[in-house]
Structure 1
């Protein structure tokens, strides 16, 4: 069973019952993995599907008044990650004005009971849901007893005495502390996607790049980085990557551009993952293209030197 659904209402998807976990799951960090792992284990014990329920856009994106808050992970990567963790079904519920107005009891009735026939529901610490975030675990436990399911939360996952959270990971990425981000995630931070066509300016400057779009989301980091690229060869390939809006050439949309060292090949349409190792500098606007190329040469040399001292990860799962 590999189920993906977007609607809060509709026909029953798991008539035999299910075990559900609910969360934003942005980044799929150690806390998320513990939550999903508990739900999957309980689903296997009961012989029913494990279903992860999340939202798209995330509520904090929907309610943001000025600019979209940064995201660690794109929706497709989240779905793939949840499936890799053992989820049989994934719900990316459309979070719009109608959904935001749904009362907590209505969410339980429509999504958990009618849609998923939930037997158990698992949530993380400090879980809130429903209109005005009025619902909590206590309400879910009380209502669940009448609706036919139980609800429980996992204990907080701590690292260095603090709860693991997407907020901590975003702060580590902004600070260029990729080692800390990896500890919180349980794996190196990476962004994946299919290589798309760009303006081919990099090629004309002697630095061809594999380009990934961030699909209308705000990235959690911006600048120039030493990186490994997975998905092309048996082992990751060294690279230097730019993630930003390319101000020197008047770019607008955030674009991840990875220049693979000493590589010549057609990557368009290929799915790759770019693993971030170290930040070299912030993105900046140069007065002309020769100045930009000179800096790119320095970035290239610095990234090569850093990666020569860094062992690539064999897998990013």
Structure 2
């Protein structure tokens, strides 16, 4: 991916014309990747630019008015997936009150026609756009005939009889079905970030952790997990992790804390990916630190057993 744009206004970004796909793309799952592959393929056939249009924050985050909304990927991870899909450009529009109020016709004229010089537009089944979700594929096709582009909706991708969607994957993760979510995503579910300094309580208790802040992101999972940690070196390291507010020590913000088995190096500042393999239990508040450590001992032992199991994850 050569360029990332954030604004509707500006010069056209595809002088020779473009093949465009539009969507929220939370998680960039197998269904999304099918759309991206179609757009990339058609753009190469027609010698046009392959462009993806998405939104940050996600529209459902904007309309939640500050309530926590779980998502499968953050902005950085989504952009990385676009890059892996080999699209030429991404238009990552700021979803705000002005964009929410924009009519479907204005969106077509200002974004697809003026900004992107679209020749083909591809969307998912049931696509809606514009103020109050007033636009659909039929309207997109009608406006396309006026402005010189075609519009088509791809059939949903179905795996094992189930239609893949971001909401279905979030539900699978919340229910602890990590293997199923991985099949639908096309990769294991993971959360990445830079390791930050914490209170170093884990080290004092015999379980040093690599801590990753979630920031404004709300995870679809919480609790204690068997995990694999990527990014420490060339190998994938087994471990046990907690994701939550740490009620025993009166934590406030959600934090991902990963204890990497048989490792005691300095990871501060390094970017890691924590891959979730299996949930062990919910987070709980213990009467004291000794009780918490005894439970961590059991968690670590259980996680080791799970990760040593043939075909784990």
Contact 1:69-1:218 within 8 A present in 2 as well: yes
Deviation for aligned residue 1:310: 4.6
Deviation for aligned residue 1:199: 2.3
Deviation for aligned residue 1:197: 2.2
5+ residue gaps, structure 1, are none
Deviation for aligned residue 1:265: 1.2
TM-score (norm 1): 0.95
Counterpart secondary structure, 1:70? coil
Question: Are 1:54 and 2:31 an aligned pair?
Answer: no
Residue in 2 that maps onto 1:13 = 13
Residue in 2 that maps onto 1:91 = 91
1 CA distance for matches of 2:230 and 2:66?
A: 35
Is the alpha carbon distance of 1:118 and 1:235 closer, same or farther for their aligned partners in structure 2, counting shifts above 3 Å? same
Residue in 2 that maps onto 1:151 = 151
Contact 1:228-1:312 within 8 A present in 2 as well: no
2 CA distance for matches of 1:252 and 1:154?
A: 43
5+ residue gaps, structure 2, are none
Deviation for aligned residue 1:68: 2.0
Is the alpha carbon distance of 1:270 and 1:153 closer, same or farther for their aligned partners in structure 2, counting shifts above 3 Å? same
2 CA distance for matches of 1:76 and 1:312?
A: 28
Residue in 1 that maps onto 2:306 = 306
Residue in 1 that maps onto 2:134 = 134
Q: CA RMSD in A?
A: 1.5
Query: In the TM superposition, what are the counterparts of 1:27-176 in structure 2 within 5 Å?
Result: 27-65=27-65, 67-176=67-176
Q: More displaced, 277-286 or 200-209?
A: 200-209
1 CA distance for matches of 2:310 and 2:141?
A: 48
Deviation for aligned residue 1:91: 1.9
Q: More displaced, 258-267 or 64-73?
A: 64-73
Counterpart secondary structure, 2:196? coil
Counterpart secondary structure, 1:203? helix
Query: In the TM superposition, what are the counterparts of 1:175-214 in structure 2 within 5 Å?
Result: 175-214=175-214
1 CA distance for matches of 2:51 and 2:215?
A: 25
Contact 2:104-2:134 within 8 A present in 1 as well: yes
Q: More displaced, 189-198 or 165-174?
A: 189-198
Counterpart secondary structure, 2:238? strand
1 CA distance for matches of 2:247 and 2:310?
A: 30
The aligned length equals: 313
Residue in 2 that maps onto 1:243 = 243
Contact 2:306-2:312 within 8 A present in 1 as well: no
Deviation for aligned residue 1:311: 4.8
2 CA distance for matches of 1:9 and 1:312?
A: 49
2 CA distance for matches of 1:244 and 1:8?
A: 37
1 CA distance for matches of 2:72 and 2:274?
A: 13
Deviation for aligned residue 1:111: 1.1
Is the alpha carbon distance of 1:311 and 1:274 closer, same or farther for their aligned partners in structure 2, counting shifts above 3 Å? farther
- Listed one character per residue, the Cα deviations across residues 151-183 of structure 1 (whole Å, up to 9, x for unaligned) are 111111112323111111111111111111111
Deviation for aligned residue 1:235: 2.1
- Listed one character per residue, the Cα deviations across residues 251-280 of structure 1 (whole Å, up to 9, x for unaligned) are 222211111001021112222111111000
Residue in 2 that maps onto 1:256 = 256
Counterpart secondary structure, 2:152? strand
